[in-house]
Structure 1
Amino acid sequence: MLQEHAKIVDFISMAEGVTGRKKLQKMIYILKKMGVPFQEKYEFHIYGPYSEELTARVEELCDMGFVSEALEDKGSYVQYNYSVTAEGLEFRDALGKSVLADPLQALKLNEKSSRFLELTATLLYFDHLERTEQIDKLHIVKGKLNFTDEEIGQAFEFIEELAVLM
């Protein structure tokens, strides 16, 4: 059980911290879809793929002192910033080796916006469909976000780019 917790600590460490709960959810989901052995189960939710298990594990990691969760008041909402503590780094070392083959995977994900990651994760959620059907499904479930053809193309390119790093 704690090995799954250590994988999350490892990922947050490799990403050099993560800003936003939604962003963390999407980053882990995308990596899972790319073959990284995260065990959290995902369901489709308001902002795309979402894992209650991941939310619970992150809360537990914060309670154990392995991950720090800093709240930043943005006026109309609160943003959460996650970073690994010194104790978390020691805990992560129990894994032996990193969950990621290349730390660049985490950094590439982290440089993307939550909106872009939501788009990418949603496309991957429907990756069992043909590309045109994926895009149609995206417009149905995420119509209010008005993703452009250019953004969708960039998301598909990003998925291919990540696949090369795996």
Structure 2
Amino acid sequence: MLKDHAKIMHAIAASSEITGRKKLQKMVYIAKKIDFPFHEKFAFHFYGPYSEELTLRIEELCNMGFLNEVKEKKGGYYQYRYSLTETGTEFLSLNEVEMAHLEDCLRDMNGQSARFLELVSTVLYFEGLPKEEVQEKIFTLKSKQRYTEEEVDRAYEYITDLKGKARIH
């Protein structure tokens, strides 16, 4: 039962700390799409791919005392920061999760903005479509974000780089 929870804990531990619920959602989704064994189901939502399952697992991990969730007021909204507690670190040391190269990919993603990860995850969500159609969907569905063609190109390059990181070393 806790195997999927441990994978999420491992992802947060590998990142040291993840700031933002949206960013956490996008990082797990992108990792899943580049073949890391995350099993949460995602559907397209207001900010791109979203998993209710992941939200519930995070809540459970906080309730079990394995994850630290710090709520900070940022201007007109709240932002959440996630890190492992001491208990969570202990649990993870007893329940090893082996996902080769995940740390490199997650650290890289954690260094990106939530806005860019939203774009990358949206590109991956529609990856079966030709690039022109994906771009059209992004410009329509994400019009408020005002993504440029250059940003979409950068998202495709970033996906290629991440897939390379996930397979080699």
Name the TM-score, length of structure 1 as normaliser.
0.96
Q: What does residue 99 of structure 2 align with?
A: 99
1:13 and 1:96 map into 2 onto residues whose CA distance is 12
For residues 129 and 23 of structure 1, do their structure 2 counterparts lie closer, same or farther at Cα, with a shift above 3 Å needed? Answer: same
**Separation in 2 of the partners of 1:102 and 1:57?**
19
Shift of 1:102: 4.1
* Residues 138-157 of structure 1: per-residue CA shift (max 9 Å, x gap): 11211121101111111111
Quick check: 1:163 aligned with 2:152?
no
What residue in structure 2 maps to residue 38 of structure 1? 38
Output one character per residue of 1:6-51: Cα deviation in whole Å (capped at 9) or x when no partner. Answer: 0000000001110000000000000000000101000000000000
For 1:127 and 1:19, how far apart are their aligned partners in 2?
A: 26
Whole-angstrom CA distance in 1 between matches of 2:149 and 2:78:
31
Which sections of structure 1, spanning at least 5 residues, go unmatched? Answer: none
Verify: 1:147 aligned to 2:132, yes or no: no
Identity of aligned residues (%): 48
1:61/1:67 contact within 8 Å kept:
yes
Q: Unaligned stretches of 5+ in structure 2? A: none
Partner of 2:19: 19
Asked if 1 retains the 8 angstrom alpha-carbon contact of 2:6 and 2:92, the reply is yes
User: Tell me, what secondary structure is at the counterpart of 1:39?
Assistant: coil
Distance 1:85 1:98 in 2: 20
1:63-142 aligned within 5 A: 63-142=63-142
Higher mean displacement: 48-57 or 97-106 = 97-106
Deviation at 1:165, TM superposition (A): 1.0
Partner secondary structure for residue 10 of structure 1: helix
Structure 1 window deviating more from structure 2 (46-55 vs 132-141): it is 132-141
For 1:43 and 1:21, locate their aligned partners in 2 and report how far apart those are by CA, in whole Å.
Answer: 16
Alpha carbons 1:11, 1:99 under 8 Å: kept: no
Give 4+ residue runs of structure 1 displaced > 2 Å after superposition: 93-102
Aligned to 1:89, the other structure's residue is in SS state: helix
**Partners in 1 of 2:110 and 2:17 — Cα distance?**
8
8 Å CA contact 2:22–2:114 kept in 1: the answer is yes
In the alignment of these two chains, the number of paired residues is 166
Separation in structure 1 between the aligned mates of residue 22 and residue 102 of structure 2, nearest angstrom = 23
